Amino acid sequence: MILLDSSVLIELFRAKNKENTLFYRLASKETDFGISIITHFEIFAGSNDMQDSFWNDFFDSIMILDFNLLCSEQAVKIYKQLKKSNKLIDLADIYIAATSIINNLPLATLNLNHFERINGLELITK
């Protein structure tokens, strides 16, 4: 399974030519995808009523992973490491990264600038 960051989903939604998206390239090789509940929040917080049906249909076909105690503990470790090195990123990205690490899943993202700062996170960017 591959965990999808919201950047991958937004690119898919906005692209006129879906074949040029990271999700499309991944879907040609992989069939099992998931998102963090945090990504679910980010998508719906930024969508409007007309877009909600698209996202509901899309999310019905993938696994949504909870943010639990283990994820929280991992997020604290990530936060402290980033703060110590003066490289903090958005909390939502820390939570998504923690979910990825705890579930031993690679994270597909277009936001390399934030996620590459996190030790132990396997990234898929192409």
3-state secondary structure of 14: helix
Each residue of 41-61: b (16+ CB within 10 Å) or e?
ebbeeebeeeeeeebeebbee
Q: Taking the CA of residue 72 as centre, how many other CA atoms within 13 Å lie in the half-sphere pointing to its CB?
A: 4
pLDDT per 10-residue tile (average), the chain, 126 residues: 96 92 93 96 94 94 97 98 96 98 97 94 92
Entry pTM: 0.92
Does the domain at 2-124 match CATH 3.40.50.1010? Answer given as: yes
Domain boundaries, the chain: 2-124
Q: What is the structure's pLDDT at 77? A: 98
What pLDDT is recorded for position 54? Answer: 92
DSSP assignment, residue 18? Answer: G
Q: What is the pLDDT of residue 126?
A: 82
